[in-house]
Each structure stands twice: as C-alpha cells, then as structure tokens.
C-alpha cells in the first residue's frame, strides 16, 4: 500500500514537472512572439518618425526615444561619422560622458566587433567591477551592447545600448535587435539624403531666389503642411534668342526683372525657386488648380509686358547713338501646371513638367495643364 502511494506521488511529481516545463515553454514562446510584435511596432514607429516634417536631427533623436521607450533601455546612443569626426546623433547619456561615447570605436573590446560587423555584449559579474570603456563613469552602466553600423559595406558608426543592471541583456533577442539596427542604418541613409538637400541650398545670383535643392528640402516641409497644392513651372522661351541678339547681360537682366515682377504678388506661404536656367517653379501651397488659373493669367500678361533695354557692354569708346525699338527685349513664357498631393514624389512632378517644357514647340506661349 505504501509503495502504491509512493508511486502515485512520484507520478504526480513527474506530471507536475512535465506541466511546468510545458508552461515554461509556452511562456517562452509567448515572450518571443511578444518581442516580435514589439519589434514590428518599433519599425512602424520608425517609419512614422522618418515621415514627420522635422529636421534630420529631430528625426534621429525621435528614433532614439522610440528605442528607449519600446525596449525599456536605460541608455541608448547613436554615433555616426560625419566625414570629419564621430558625432553623437542621439543619446540620453549626460553630456559629461560625450567624449567617451564618441571614442568607443577606439576601445579594444569593440575593435573585433567593428572588423567583423558583429554585435558585442559585455557585462560585469560583481559590483566592484566596471565595464572596460568606463573612465569617470563608474557604476553608470553595468551591461552594454555595441552594434557597428554599415551602409553598403562601409562602416559609418555604431549604436550602443547600456543598462545599470548586471547581465541585463542576457535574454534579449539579438535577432530582433539586429533588425532594429538594420532599420537604424536605413534611417541614417534616408536622413543623410535629406541632410544633403537641407545643406546644399544656394541663392541664385540674379534673382535672389532659392535653387531647386531648396524645393526638395526645406521648401517641401512648407509644401507638405497642406494636403494638396498646385505646382507651376514656367520657362522663358525666348531667353536663348535674347542672349544671342541683345547679349547675355541683357538676358541676365530679363531673368532678374521677371522674378522681381512676380515676387510681390506671391503669398509668403508659396514657394518660388529658380529651377534651372530659364525655368522657374512656383508651388501654390494649399491651392487647387482652378483657383490658380486667374492669377497665372495675370502674371503671364504682366511678365510679357516687361521691356528691358539692351545692356551695353562697356567699351573704351563713347557711344552717342540712341537706342532703337529693336534694342529693347521682352520675355515670353510658357507655363505648365500640375497637382501635388502630400506624401507623393515632388521631384517626379517637376521632372514631368520639365520634360513637357523642354519638348514643347519653342514658339509655344500659353498655359498648359498636365
């Protein structure tokens, strides 16, 4: 009888052990699924951050904030080489540790990680230890993971996460973090393009207007405050002829006078740039085509009444000859309009408008809609 009770108890214990293992595996599976769902949410948040109408710096900072919030990380830092030095793109670490953060790539513990493009996890086992890269920050971080960042096989910086707890990242799914790291790289690549657009703005010498680069950088932020806008590109169709007959200085004066004639009548919310050569772009932000047409007709009429006397080239001899009517240049413009919707490719629309004007009959002189 006693033996039977013992056997029953052993059976119960074994059943409980099997049940506990089953529950443990289910919890582990659920945790893994939960981490993957969290990762997908992070990626969605990343996409939202990149799509925001903010500066490059603000976008990267927002990405870092998302990492801190979603993964419950104490410290997260994104450091990238800007062409001259390693720069901190985003971090929540105190400024007094910035020099240490910017020089992680020189630490022996991370050199193999950089060389092999693999993450490196380091931690301590007792409170009297410190991480190898820590100098004056004893006790601030007790665990760290270092992720080297590469764009097209070129090393461009690193992502560092830290915790104030020992062995904090032992059970963290590194596969998910690798996906997050790849998305950080993708975001850096994306915002690098935006940064280039923001930093290469030029002011045109003759018109004081911004160049086409402004249109796709800071100008687009203004345009995208509205769901729908009208884009107009116009071309001074007879500018080559004016340059040939009256001289390039007269042609330059025509370009100047055309822009001067238009600027006062434009709302400050509109974007007006000298696109290229004889071509200009006006974006009527928040305005549909039908509402723009009367204004465009008035501008076209006004511009084509501009008369610019031939600009004489300075010579050593004085000229007493009076100007004749043939020595007065008048611009002719060809206009084409299209609709832009927020979130679509603005450069695709301007390319379409440019192709139309470049392929149009040189004598065409009207308002077109595409």
Question: What does the pLDDT read at residue 315?
Answer: 57
Asked if 133 and 145 count as a contact pair (C-beta separation under 8 A), the reply is: no
Q: What share of the chain is helix, strand, coil (3-state, %, to 5)?
A: 50, 20, 30
Question: What does the pLDDT read at residue 280?
Answer: 96
Give tens-digit pLDDT for 75-109: 999 998 876 788 899 999 988 889 889 999 999 99
The region, left, alpha or beta by phi > 0 then psi within -120 to 50, assigned to residue 72 is left
Q: Which residues, given as ranges, of the chain have pLDDT below 50?
A: 26-27, 29-31, 33-34, 37, 323-324
This prediction's pTM: 0.55
Question: What does the pLDDT read at residue 183?
Answer: 80
């Amino acid at each position: 009888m006693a033996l039977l009770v013992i056997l029953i108890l052993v059976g119960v214990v074994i059943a409980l052990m099997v049940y506990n293992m089953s529950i443990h595996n289910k919890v582990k599976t659920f945790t893994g699924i939960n981490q993957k769902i969290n990762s997908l949410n992070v990626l969605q948040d990343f996409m939202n951050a990149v799509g925001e109408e903010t500066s490059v710096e603000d976008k990267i900072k927002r990405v870092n904030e998302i990492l801190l919030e979603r993964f419950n990380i104490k410290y997260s830092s994104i450091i990238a080489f800007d062409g001259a030095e390693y720069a901190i793109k985003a971090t929540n670490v105190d400024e007094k540790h910035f020099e240490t953060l910017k020089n992680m790539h020189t630490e022996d513990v991370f050199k193999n990680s950089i060389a092999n493009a693999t993450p490196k996890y380091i931690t301590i086992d007792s409170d009297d230890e410190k991480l190898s890269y820590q100098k004056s920050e004893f006790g601030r971080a007790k665990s760290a993971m270092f992720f080297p960042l590469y764009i097209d096989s070129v090393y461009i910086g690193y992502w560092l996460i830290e915790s104030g707890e020992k062995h904090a990242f032992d059970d963290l799914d590194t596969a998910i973090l690798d996906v997050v790291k790849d998305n950080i790289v993708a975001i850096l690549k994306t915002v690098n393009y935006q940064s280039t657009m923001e930093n290469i703005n030029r002011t045109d010498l003759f018109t004081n207007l911004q160049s086409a680069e402004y249109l796709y950088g800071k100008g687009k932020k203004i345009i995208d405050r509205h769901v729908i806008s009208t884009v107009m590109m116009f071309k001074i169709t007879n500018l080559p002829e004016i340059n040939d007959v009256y001289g390039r200085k007269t042609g330059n004066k025509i370009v100047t006078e055309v822009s001067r004639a238009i600027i006062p009548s434009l709302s400050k919310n509109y974007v007006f740039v000298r696109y290229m050569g004889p071509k200009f772009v006006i974006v009527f932000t928040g305005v549909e085509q039908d509402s723009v047409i009367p204004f465009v007709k008035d501008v076209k009429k006004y511009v084509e009444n501009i008369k610019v006397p031939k600009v004489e080239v300075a010579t050593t001899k004085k000229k007493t000859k009076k100007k004749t009517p043939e020595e007065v240049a008048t611009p002719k413009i060809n206009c084409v309009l299209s609709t832009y919707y927020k979130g679509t490719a603005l450069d695709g629309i301007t390319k379409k408008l440019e192709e139309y004007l470049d392929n149009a009959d040189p004598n065409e002189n009207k308002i077109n809609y595409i």
